[in-house]
Structure 1
Amino acid sequence: MKKPRIEAEEPQPRKIIRADKAPVSGYSLVVDGHFKSHHDTVEAAEEAGMALKNKFQMLQVQVYDAETKTRSMIDWPGPA
């Protein structure tokens, strides 16, 4: 007896962001000189950078602004 073939829905196409090229819009997280994640707002990028910096203080974390092509360093405040 043959089992019925279940066909899955086609997956949505993913938005592919290349890590070796600078983004053209939005804000990206740069970790130790490599582009890692892309965010729509600077607040979201800073929040993600601070969460990463809280876990791993030795990393160099920056927020890259694609519009002005500038980077700003995320500084870890240290233990209170």
Structure 2
Amino acid sequence: MVAATGQSPASAYALEVDGQLKCEFTTRDGARAGAEELKKRLHMLQIRIYDAQTNAREEI
């Protein structure tokens, strides 16, 4: 994990929680692991992985 962010990352992955970017990861695997852990603890949240390179989001 890199740092908390309020804006779109330039070249990394970020967790989008209920429509807001929360934290940035350097690898996709790290972002996925973080998203799955958060989803286990707080299953009612909408969590997506944001890929800054392709500007795409993946629902968890």
Q: TM-score, normalised by structure 1?
A: 0.68
Distance 1:50 1:72 in 2: 12
Structure 1 position 18, deviation (Å): 4.0
1:25-36 counterparts in 2 under 5 A?
25-36=11-22
Structure 1 or 2: larger strand share?
A: 2
1:70 and 2:56 equivalent? yes
Contact 2:3–2:24 at 8 Å: present in 1 too?
no
Runs of 4+ in 1 over 3 A off after TM superposition: 15-18
Structure 1 or 2: larger helix share?
A: 2
Distance 2:17 2:44 in 1: 11
Indicate the SS of the match to 1:62.
strand
RMSD: 1.6
Q: TM-score, normalised by structure 2?
A: 0.90
Q: Which runs of 5+ in 1 are unaligned?
A: 1-14, 75-80
Contact 2:15–2:47 at 8 Å: present in 1 too?
yes
Aligned match for 1:52, one of 8, 15, 38 = 38
Higher relative contact order (CA 8 A, sep 6+): 2
Indicate the SS of the match to 1:54.
helix
Distance 1:69 1:17 in 2: 19
Q: Which runs of 5+ in 2 are unaligned?
A: none
Distance 1:56 1:18, change over 3 A: closer
Q: Which amino acid aligns with 1:67?
A: Q
